[in-house]
Amino acid sequence: MEKMKPKFKETIPVFFINDEIHIGEEDGVAGVIEDPNGSIKYLISLINGKNSIEEIVHLVQQKYPNIKENEVLDGIKALDTEKYLEDNSLNPQSIGDYELERYKANLNYFSLFTSLEDNKYNVQETIINTKVALLGIGGLGSQILYHLSALGFHNINALDFDTLELSNFNRQLLYSEKDINKLKTELAEERISSFNPNVNLNVTNKRIECAEDVMKHIEGSDYVICVADKPTLHIQDWVNEAVVKLGKPLVSGGVLNTRGRFYSMLPGKTGCVECHKRTIIESDVIVNKQLDSMHQVNFQRNNAAISPNVAMLAGAIVNEFLGLVTGIQTPTSLGKMMELNFLTYQTYPISEWNKKEDCPVCHSAPVTVGK
């Protein structure tokens, strides 16, 4: 195995100003180091991806004999702790030059979360190999599909049942007016194939009518994103039952006029949607009466959404999903209902819940579809 060869990340600039060294440019991330004798500047010049740590120590001590080995090692460790460094000896395992260029900015971003012991290429490779089930490719789903394709998710199984209408265009950016009255699933397949031909997008044109429909769609996937919103009173329950029974991690969300909401769950670890309902009903008896009233009138939510608001929520959902899949960050919405205020741009939890011991969904036995 090749020896570790540290270098400063492409996204981390280093500036030398008088007797100070300024590293990085973001507030809260950038650091300032005093360097009266120039030894740290020399150390930094050696952290160029060409020298091993042993070679760096040797060269520093050769020029500055009074500096001890552990001081050099501590200096490198301090820079690594701030996530300024990466190992230049690391190479991708399964992606080639094409992917390295197409996803170059992705890799630079992922490197912000890695240290010398980590491999940023592994993050992109994980994304490429992950199988995603996407429920809904309307306003929110079409933008999420674009984001997933741009990130490099090459295996996406998408479901919708709707045809394109003129009223969709204020927020659905995947389509064109010449395609009005055509199936969104077929249009999405065509557009994504043009945008990123590496994406294996399988589309299903079907209206979800029960939990079994959801299970059949998601059974071959690793993760699920749900932004389907019809039928309003049942879709979340059906999806919840399906992901819990099949053990599929879920990120879900939707637009509510001037606010967007999203949550994520890990079946068997976090509480599910039914746990959430029971938690809310226990704390507020009025909620149950409201739900009963909505069922009596067969409530269906109407769209009140504009493209920039949908884009904000789509970005939040995909970032949560990215953290769930890659582990580069912990999703903020695990077991929480997060709300994004489109007017103030603030994001905050509005409710939290744990797994309920009496939840019939969480304690249902796992099933195999078709048996």
Beta bridge mates, 250: 224, 265
The domain locations on the chain are 6-87, 130-352
Q: Residue 114: what pLDDT?
A: 96
Strands 200-205 and 155-160: parallel
Identify the pLDDT of residue 230: 83
How far apart are alpha carbons 148 and 145 in whole angstroms? 5
Architecture of the 6-87 domain = Alpha-Beta Complex (3.90)
Question: Would you give the distance in Å from CA 208 to the centre of its chain?
Answer: 25
Averaged pLDDT for residues 83-109: 96
Digit-coded pLDDT (tens) for 183-192: 999 999 999 9
Work out the pLDDT band at 299, boundaries 50, 70, 90. Answer: low
Measured between its terminal Cα atoms, the distance across the chain in Å is 48
Closest among 128, 122, 68 to 102, alpha carbons compared: 128
8 Å CB contact between 102 and 148: no
**Which of 122-136, 212-226, 296-310 is the least confident region?**
296-310
- Equal fold, 6-87 vs 130-352: no
The pLDDT score that the predictor gives to residue 193 is 96
The domain made up of 130-352 is a member of CATH 3.40.1550.10: no
Mean per-residue pLDDT for 319-346?
97
Decide: helix, strand or coil at residue 259: strand
Q: What is the mean pLDDT of residues 256-261?
A: 94
pLDDT in tens, 187-206: 999 999 999 999 999 999 99
Q: Per residue in 317-341, is it b (16+ CB within 10 Å) or e — as a string?
A: bbebbbbbbbebeebbbbbbbbbbe
Q: Is the pLDDT of residue 293 over 90?
A: no
279-303 average pLDDT score: 68
Q: What are phi and psi of 29, to 5 degrees?
A: -115, -40
> Residue 371: what pLDDT?
40
Name the average pLDDT for the chain. Answer: 92
